[in-house]
Amino acid sequence: MINKTRGESEAAFTREIIRIEKEFLGRGPHEVRTFFLEDLIVVRLRGILTQAENKLSETQDGRELIKETRRRLFESARPLIEVAVKNILDCNIISMHTDISTHTGERIIVLTADVNLDKKFS
């Protein structure tokens, strides 16, 4: 059983995502929220585009480049994310999904855990 509350664990995971973003990109998002829904960890990041990415997003090729680069960076961060999930929630990741809106500068991350997180916090 987890000693922290759901809110404390969501906040701890949010802090780890911000740390990982800063480590890989040199800056963090303006706003981040984490939600646990059954076996899903959903993270919403806002204000993640750099000034250069905002400029690139003006063209289709630029938008595709941003999405592909961010996807690859996210995949390379998987070991760090797995450690965060294990340390904070005492479970493992089955799958990771992400997408970014180059229009709004928002990214959604969805992780599938190997346990039902709702039951951990009930």
pLDDT at position 24 over 90: no
**Closest among 9, 27, 30, 11 to 19, alpha carbons compared:** 27
Give the H or E element holding residue 72: helix 60-76
Give residue 1's pLDDT: 43
pLDDT at position 105 over 90: yes
Query: Which pair of structure tokens corresponds to residue 80?
Result: 């760090």
Average pLDDT over the chain, rounded to whole?
94
pLDDT at position 3 over 80: no
Give residue 25's pLDDT: 79
**pTM to 2 decimals?**
0.91
**In whole angstroms, what is the distance from residue 9 CA to residue 112 CA?**
16
Residue with tokens 């855990």, as numbered in its chain: 113
pLDDT at position 100 over 60: yes
Q: What residues contact 64, with CB distance under 8 A and at least 6 apart?
A: none
Give residue 26's pLDDT: 82
Query: Which pair of structure tokens corresponds to residue 89?
Result: 């929630």
* 41 phi, psi to nearest 5 deg: -115, 115
- Judge contact between 117 and 93, C-beta under 8 A: no
List pLDDT tens digits, range 65-80: 999 999 999 999 999 9
14: left (phi over 0), alpha (psi -120 to 50) or beta: alpha
pLDDT at position 60 over 90: yes
pLDDT at position 2 over 90: no
Which three-class secondary structure state does DSSP give residue 35?
strand
